Structure 1
């Protein structure tokens, strides 16, 4: 009689990944890229702590799935960014990982060819190459970090990151955030409350010790110093939007009473827009209006934007529409440019009084 199997019963396959150090050597950051990332992080730090009055605007595709379209979008955004940088610090969304409630495409890193081949080594390489291209255009980069191993491969090229609503309560992600080198926003829970995010910011700002991997890909005990640049991101909840002036005032007071920096960003999508991308412009306008009325606790906004508006379904084997999101719906480039230029103009009084 054969002994009963007790390990790997449900494992279908295991594929070795390159060690983080190996990939970083294969696709290295240049000295110029390193200096740019460090400078962008410093700028964002200054915005969080109120020493820079510019609006931090995290804008770009819900997810990167087509590198050619991503490049075209980045070139357009880089040009516009230069025109408005006096009042707005634009950071491009370069999201490679997507959370899934049940099943679905998990992002470029997990399935880069969108064919369920799950070529993660290729996905990591493509992601790293694309981040370098965006930085070389003079655009700071932003992403959501979903898997705790991913940062070892790409974090050195990320200027700002987010922890999503479904992972804000995760101890693993709070520990990971405490060791990250870039500013980071925790989103409020899907029910709309901010308590989990406040607790997350508190935890991530402190020293943590946890299980992780080192640059050689070996299991390691990791001890962090804590990340001082964590802040709140409002994305609405099941009861509706939470970006209005009263919510913002209440949440900033809660942050302050908890001993945290009273700073928050407004996500113009998700439940703040009731999942309607055509509402993004009015939400951003409301945020700017609050700034103009003296609400300095709002440090930024987030907008999901692509070359073309809306979204499309993935049909494996069929050609997809160019520049259209395959995850959440986005505003198109024409609307994006209009929103950013309107924001720049609306911020004039804020800077004339500074």
Structure 2
């Protein structure tokens, strides 16, 4: 891909800014158009998720996959395994694959496949966006619904037509531009509680995103434009822990009461990683089974969970020599491995299968 560079100087200190041309969203979609199978997969994923959030489908959502995708080949290997598992548990669970291409950083670090697809600091974002879209097309071709984090305000213009579920992260839930963007996204959006554990910022975000907004953004031709959204009624809360874990029954009840007080739907997804596992991947199964127990005890608000999982357990540092890196192992947060993931999902399926229809009928009544 040709790199068309321009240079400008701004500010009294003459800071150097180099601008590199990007293809527009419509140009990239022209290079990598969605086929009938992928379009149908995305639409069906959105339909299932909105039906679950509306309480018209009694199943449970499991958003599962790598913390981030750094190797599309390994991600597709994982997806092929997940597809078979999804079919086996589809009467009770809707499996949605994590396909995260952007990573927020507290300080510094690798920012994801879009920002730095070669993992070497070259930051060829045009190539990264192309690779991300190509990966989403292949995942959709397998028939899997896909989840991603909407971090950069412009990325969803390039990728959003291939995504069934989006998350707004703990560092950006409080951001007004992200709330405005979410109000115009054509899929359900989960808002994470703040890094300090504050759930009200996410609940405020749900309320804001449910309303119409007028804001600056980018149109399909890559031009700045005034955008007008109609509002997104399918926002929900993601509990990811903060100063302490918040997946326990007391924390869930507090979140429910706060949501009711703010007049937003009491739909909760529990993130089994991050603050809820103290970033110890071996604790993720314990978190998930605790949440399953809450369903068995009558909880109605928890609609699903998130799990960070890859082919191999743990995480690894990025190496200059890629051949020295472990295949299918995360380069960001540590994950549980595929064997543990499959066992965990099947165990949840066995325990929830006899309960969900009854839970749905009770809710509908």
TM-score of the pair, normalised by structure 2 = 0.93
Deviation at 1:282, TM superposition (A): 0.8
In structure 2, how many angstroms separate the alpha carbons of the residues matched to 1:181 and 1:25? Answer: 20
Correspondent of 1:53 among 58, 61, 69: 58
For 2:3, the equivalent position in structure 1 comes to: none
For 1:86, the equivalent position in structure 2 comes to: 91
In structure 2, how many angstroms separate the alpha carbons of the residues matched to 1:340 and 1:42? Answer: 22
Cα deviations by residue, 1:72-130 (Å, 9 ceiling, x for unpaired): 10000001100001000000000000001111100000100101111111111111111
In structure 2, how many angstroms separate the alpha carbons of the residues matched to 1:76 and 1:199? Answer: 37
The answer for unaligned runs of 5 or more in structure 1 is none
Alignment of 1:336-351 (within 5 A): 336-351=341-356
Deviation at 1:6, TM superposition (A): 4.1
Cα deviations by residue, 1:276-316 (Å, 9 ceiling, x for unpaired): 11000011101111111221100010000000000011132
Residue 277 in 1 paired to residue 281 in 2?
yes
In structure 1, how many angstroms separate the alpha carbons of the residues matched to 2:12 and 2:38? Answer: 44
For 2:164, the equivalent position in structure 1 comes to: 159
For the residue of structure 2 that corresponds to 1:346, the secondary structure is helix
Cα deviations by residue, 1:118-153 (Å, 9 ceiling, x for unpaired): 111111111111111111111100000100000000
For the residue of structure 2 that corresponds to 1:185, the secondary structure is strand
For 2:5, the equivalent position in structure 1 comes to: none
Q: Compared with structure 1, are the counterparts of its residues 8 and 78 closer, same or farther at alpha carbon in structure 2 (3 Å cutoff)?
A: farther
For the residue of structure 1 that corresponds to 2:19, the secondary structure is coil
Correspondent of 2:232 among 193, 206, 227: 227
For 1:21, the equivalent position in structure 2 comes to: 26
For the residue of structure 2 that corresponds to 1:347, the secondary structure is helix
For the residue of structure 2 that corresponds to 1:14, the secondary structure is strand
CA contact (8 A) 1:49 1:263 kept: no
Residue 325 in 1 paired to residue 333 in 2?
no
Residue 72 in 1 paired to residue 66 in 2?
no
Residue 254 in 1 paired to residue 258 in 2?
yes
Deviation at 1:35, TM superposition (A): 2.2
Alignment of 1:1-354 (within 5 A): 6=11, 9-238=14-243, 240-318=244-322, 319-351=324-356, 353=358, 354=361
CA contact (8 A) 1:50 1:296 kept: no
Deviation at 1:32, TM superposition (A): 2.8
Cα deviations by residue, 1:296-338 (Å, 9 ceiling, x for unpaired): 1000100000000000111323531111100000000000000
The more displaced of 44-53 and 83-92 is: 44-53
The more displaced of 83-92 and 250-259 is: 250-259
Deviation at 1:352, TM superposition (A): 5.8
Deviation at 1:174, TM superposition (A): 0.6
CA contact (8 A) 1:233 1:267 kept: yes
The answer for unaligned runs of 5 or more in structure 2 is 1-8
In structure 2, how many angstroms separate the alpha carbons of the residues matched to 1:36 and 1:310? Answer: 30
In structure 2, how many angstroms separate the alpha carbons of the residues matched to 1:6 and 1:349? Answer: 65
In structure 1, how many angstroms separate the alpha carbons of the residues matched to 2:275 and 2:128? Answer: 30
In structure 1, how many angstroms separate the alpha carbons of the residues matched to 2:275 and 2:253? Answer: 19
Structure 1 runs of 4+ with >3 Å offset: 4-9, 351-354
Deviation at 1:348, TM superposition (A): 2.4
The more displaced of 217-226 and 343-352 is: 343-352
